[in-house]
Amino acid sequence: MSGRDDGSGRDDAQPGILTPLLRQRESVMVYDPTHELSAAALRGILEAARWAPSAGNSQPWGFIVGRRGDATHAGIVDALSTANQAWAPAASALVLTLHQAALDEDHEVSYSDYAMFDLGQAVAHLTVQARSMGLQVRQFGGFDHARAAATFSVPAHWSVTTGVALGLPGTRGEEWTLPGWVQARARLPRSRLPLAAFVHSDEFGHAAGFLTDP
């Protein structure tokens, strides 16, 4: 854990029943551009993804990982949208996530209907593990997926899905070096829909009664 702030300074998520790893999780856009993520730390974060549950233990996920300064990191940056190129290159590591859609170009893989869901679980595990190490993660979709697939020779039966930025949050001084829109986004208050908006019982759209029980 670093002595630096490990978030934007915004209020933690509520309620307090949540583990601090989740209360203090943020999708950080301001990263310390000098922080170097060790190979051991990166392996530990990816081990968390490795041990995520999956349908039939199919483990249909893949990760293309670059640490800042290496060719893989640079290749991912090249595929980013203009907006994401404004902040993501400072992250200690950039990751492309993939899910397996088939065994090969002609054969569907078992449990393929759940592959993207399983990838999401693996990334969630990765995110919580990173948070436990004092790091933050931001997931994003703004990049040229076809270019990324071509750059890294991804087979046709694998799908490049999302991007992940990983690193140590930066200081307010580092925030001020970024475009104004990034600074504004970094300070937005945290908000979520109430449970009653998406937790149903009896029928869809009917808020579960236990939500208001003592």
Whether the per-residue pLDDT at 4 is higher than 50: the answer is: no
Higher pLDDT, 33 or 191: 33
Higher pLDDT, 13 or 111: 111
pLDDT band at 14 (very low <50, low <70, confident <90, very high): low
The pTM assigned to this predicted structure is 0.87
Q: What is the CA radius of gyration of the chain?
A: 19
188: left (phi over 0), alpha (psi -120 to 50) or beta: beta
pLDDT (mean) for 97-125: 87
Cα–Cα dist 86/72, whole Å: 18
> In the prediction, which pLDDT does 7 show?
55
Cα–Cα dist 208/198, whole Å: 9
Q: pLDDT for 132-174, tens place per residue?
A: 999 999 999 999 999 999 999 999 999 999 999 999 998 876 7
Q: Which domains does the chain have, with CATH numbers?
A: 20-186 (3.40.109.10)
Amino acid at 44: G
Q: pLDDT for 174-183, tens place per residue?
A: 776 778 888 8
E-strand stretches of 16-92: 61-67
3-state secondary structure of 80: strand
Task: Dig out the tokens for 11 from the structure.
Answer: 């209020």
3-state secondary structure of 69: coil
- The residues pairing with 95 across neighbouring beta strands, listed in sequence order, are 65, 164
DSSP 106-166: TEEPTTGGGHHHHHHHHHHHHHHHHHHTT-EEEEE--B-HHHHHHHTT--TTEEEEEEEEE
Torsion, CA 165, CA 67, CA 63, CA 98, rounded to 10: 50
